[in-house]
Amino acid sequence: MAQGISSAKEFMMTAAASVSPVFDGAIVKRYADKIRATGKIDPELYDKYNVKRGLRNADGTGVLVGLTAIGSVHGYVISESEKVSVPGQLFYRGINVNDLVKGFQDERRPGFEETAYLLLFGELPNAKDLQHWNNLLDACRRLPDGFKESAIIRAPGKNIMNSIARAVLMTYLNDPEPDRLDVETTLRQSISLIAQFPVIAAYAYQAKAHYHMGQSLMMRYPEAGKSTAENFLMLIREDGLYTPLEAELLDLCLVLHAEHGGGNNSAFTTHVVTSSFTDTYAAIAAATLSLKGLRHGGANLRVMEQMREIKEHVEHWDDEDEVAAYLTRILNKEAGDGTGLIYGLGHAVYTLSDPRTEILRDKARALARAKGRDEEMALYETIERIGPALFNRNRAKPRDLCANVDFFSGFVYDMLNIPVDLYTPLFAVSRVVGWCAHRIEELLNGGPIIRPAYKAVFGQRPYTPLPERDGG
């Protein structure tokens, strides 16, 4: 271990010194100004050429670019060419996620492993299949000998998502046939990644906490017979202890984040990268880094930052008028980060309701009661209730707005004493199931490489010899 610590310190010193001193502010700004001058495209051109920015139609609906039999997100219907809002529904392999959750919770057992089986294989397991599947995940959880030291401890990162992506890419080195694209090989790789993601995320956090935050380095081995949620809580906590309610809530979060259709940014990234016939590890690393973005998996961090500000500036959380006044300041860009957004409200597809929010809210209430945080829970529900009307108050064309899953998930993680650094990695621990299912689907159906069109809008010009250029 002494060698590992030394290597880690050397790594960080090298990284800190890697930015060349020639990159002073003036030089960088001069070149950046050149980019601003030459890189901006007239916004009117997007309308002129009917560009579907964000692969969205003018009414906000998504441009149809593919087919999937894995997940379905339903938040509106098109009636007589008009977009009509409906209560949100989420389906995993055709099964309503509400029914899936009710099924395993009524039987008082974890559901993430069953969900992973369903998303990968297209059907629910029977009791025998589920036990065998759980045993298979148990057998795959432990990382290869020396991997933890070489891929994680000796190169601790400041961002866990980057650390996960790097570890995934290094997993390539331990695979005897990493570039094979047949279903059997891809499935073997997928099962290993699904089993190891929570372990990699937990270890990456422990490495960061030790080398960047001065905490003791503590790394346990995952235990057979424990669920993914139970193992994760055990691996990140100093005492390794958790309550049944805590494990149940984390398991529920994993289920609700496991899949969200083929069009979300990270799943689409998986399809795009897979269509080039790259390897599984490259595809999943790409999806991981897509999820890292604040517009995607990092959204619950923005919710938590904004809620922290609201709690600091609103003295009476139970005073709806006082809460509304501060939300109005945020919407008017007088408070918050200046964007005029109430984070956690609104979704690209869901309109009247997000089914994941509906499920998570009830369980969050139970955890808040157990943790003595009822007042905070009430504040969240107040914002959820009054926020949409405040948002639409001065809009010429009001839109249906609901609380998305990010609104409550960060609060749940906070009540579970999960460090903020692990919020987005937890999303990845769950969503890797959907990514792997989408990768297999893309390979199985043999589509062409995904290559949409971009129209060039520059005019042609002659080449100017060096002596004739301005300032030369």
Do 119 and 258 share a structural domain? yes
Do 182 and 86 share a structural domain? yes
* d(C-alpha 144, C-alpha 309), whole Å: 43
Do 261 and 115 share a structural domain? yes
* d(C-alpha 293, C-alpha 291), whole Å: 5
123-135 pLDDT per residue, tens: 999 999 999 999 9
Q: Where are the alpha helices (DSSP H) in 237-342?
A: 244-256, 265-274, 280-291, 299-313, 320-331
Do 139 and 84 share a structural domain? yes
In this structure, the chain runs to a length of: 472
* d(C-alpha 144, C-alpha 62), whole Å: 42
Do 193 and 166 share a structural domain? yes
Backbone angles phi, psi at 290, to 5 degrees: -65, -45
Tell whether 56 is covered by a domain.
no
Enclosing domain of residue 244: 72-293+420-445
Do 431 and 381 share a structural domain? no
390-441 pLDDT per residue, tens: 999 988 889 999 999 999 999 999 999 999 999 999 999 999 999 999 999 9
* d(C-alpha 231, C-alpha 226), whole Å: 6
Do 313 and 257 share a structural domain? no
Structural domains counted in the chain: 2
pTM of the model: 0.91
* d(C-alpha 72, C-alpha 62), whole Å: 13
Would you place residue 1 in the very low, low, confident or very high pLDDT band (cuts 50, 70, 90)?
A: very low
Mean pLDDT, residues 321-334 taken together: 97
145-196 pLDDT per residue, tens: 999 999 999 888 889 999 999 999 999 999 999 999 999 999 999 999 999 9
Do 278 and 132 share a structural domain? yes
Question: Among 394, 415, 436, where does a domain finish?
Answer: 415
DSSP letters spanning 38-63: HH---HHHHHHTT--GGGB-TTSPBP
Do 285 and 346 share a structural domain? no
Q: What CATH number has the domain bearing residue 210?
A: 1.10.580.10
Tell whether 34 is covered by a domain.
no
Residue 214, CB half-sphere, CA atoms under 13 Å: how many? Answer: 0
Mean residue pLDDT across the chain: 92
Q: What CATH number has the domain bearing residue 341?
A: 1.10.230.10
Give Rg (Cα) of the chain: 24
Q: Which of 412, 406, 434, 270 is nearest to 350 (CA)?
A: 406
231-268 pLDDT per residue, tens: 999 999 999 999 999 999 999 999 999 999 999 999 99
Tell whether 13 is covered by a domain.
no
* d(C-alpha 128, C-alpha 195), whole Å: 19
Do 287 and 327 share a structural domain? no
Do 245 and 217 share a structural domain? yes
Do 268 and 245 share a structural domain? yes
